[in-house]
Structure 1
Amino acid sequence: MQALCCIPRLSVIVNRSCRKTSSLRAFSSDSSDQSRGGLPRFFTDVLPSSKARDEFWHMTKVLRLNTDDRIELFNGKGGLVEGCIESIDRTGADIVALENPKLVSTNATQWHVFAAFGSLKGGRSDWLIEKCTELGASSVTPLLTEHSPSIFENRVDRLQRVILAAAKQCQRLHEMALNPPLNVRGLLPIVSRTKQSFIAAAEATPVMNALAHSQREPVGSIIIGPEGDFTEAEVKLILEAGAMAVGLGPHRLRVETATIALLSTAMLWSNSRDYNNT
Structure 2
Amino acid sequence: MARELRRLLIDPARLAPELPLRPEEIRYLTRVLRYSPGDRVELTDGAGGLWSAVLIGKDRLALEQPLGRPLRREPPPALRLELAIAVPKRDMDLVVRMACELGVDRLQPLRAENSALVGSQKSERWEAILREASEQCERLWLPELAPPVPAAPWLGAAAQGVRCAC
What corresponds to 1:39 in structure 2?
5
Q: 1:76 to 1:188 in 2, by over 3 A?
A: same
Structure 1, unaligned runs of 5 or more: 1-11, 15-37, 195-218, 225-278
Q: Is the aligned partner of 1:220 residue 2:144?
A: no
Give, in angstroms, the shift of residue 13 of structure 1: 6.1
SS in 2 for 1:127: helix
The amino acid across from 1:99 in the alignment is Q
Structure-2-length-normalised TM-score: 0.84
What corresponds to 1:98 in structure 2?
64
Give the one of 126, 134, 145 matched to 1:159: 126
Give the one of 101, 106, 109 matched to 1:142: 109
Give, in angstroms, the shift of residue 114 of structure 1: 0.7
Counterpart Cα distance in 1 of 2:94 and 2:124: 15
Q: Greater relative contact order: 1 or 2 (C-alpha under 8 angstroms, separation 6 or more)? A: 2
Aligned length: 158
What corresponds to 1:120 in structure 2?
89
Give, in angstroms, the shift of residue 45 of structure 1: 1.2
The amino acid across from 1:221 in the alignment is R
Contact 1:41–1:168, Cα closer than 8 Å, also in 2:
yes
Deviation string, structure 1 residues 228-259 (Cα, Å, up to 9, x no partner): xxxxxxxxxxxxxxxxxxxxxxxxxxxxxxxx
Contact 2:89–2:116, Cα closer than 8 Å, also in 1:
no
Q: Is the aligned partner of 1:48 residue 2:48?
A: no
Give, in angstroms, the shift of residue 113 of structure 1: 0.8
Counterpart Cα distance in 1 of 2:122 and 2:2: 33
Give, in angstroms, the shift of residue 176 of structure 1: 1.1
Counterpart Cα distance in 2 of 1:149 and 1:128: 14
Counterpart Cα distance in 1 of 2:6 and 2:116: 41
Cα RMSD of the aligned pairs, angstroms, is: 2.2
Contact 2:105–2:143, Cα closer than 8 Å, also in 1:
yes
Q: Is the aligned partner of 1:67 residue 2:37?
A: yes
Contact 1:13–1:69, Cα closer than 8 Å, also in 2:
no
Q: 1:172 to 1:106 in 2, by over 3 A?
A: same
Contact 2:86–2:151, Cα closer than 8 Å, also in 1:
no
Give, in angstroms, the shift of residue 149 of structure 1: 6.8
Q: 1:40 to 1:187 in 2, by over 3 A?
A: same
Q: Is the aligned partner of 1:184 residue 2:154?
A: no
Give, in angstroms, the shift of residue 79 of structure 1: 1.4
Counterpart Cα distance in 2 of 1:149 and 1:107: 31
Counterpart Cα distance in 1 of 2:6 and 2:61: 13
Q: Kindly, what percent of the aligned residue pairs are identical?
A: 25
What corresponds to 1:211 in structure 2?
none
Which has the larger Rg? Answer: 1
Structure richer in helix, relative to its length = 1
Deviation string, structure 1 residues 115-165 (Cα, Å, up to 9, x no partner): 002x422xx111000000111101111111223273244312211111111
Contact 1:79–1:104, Cα closer than 8 Å, also in 2:
yes
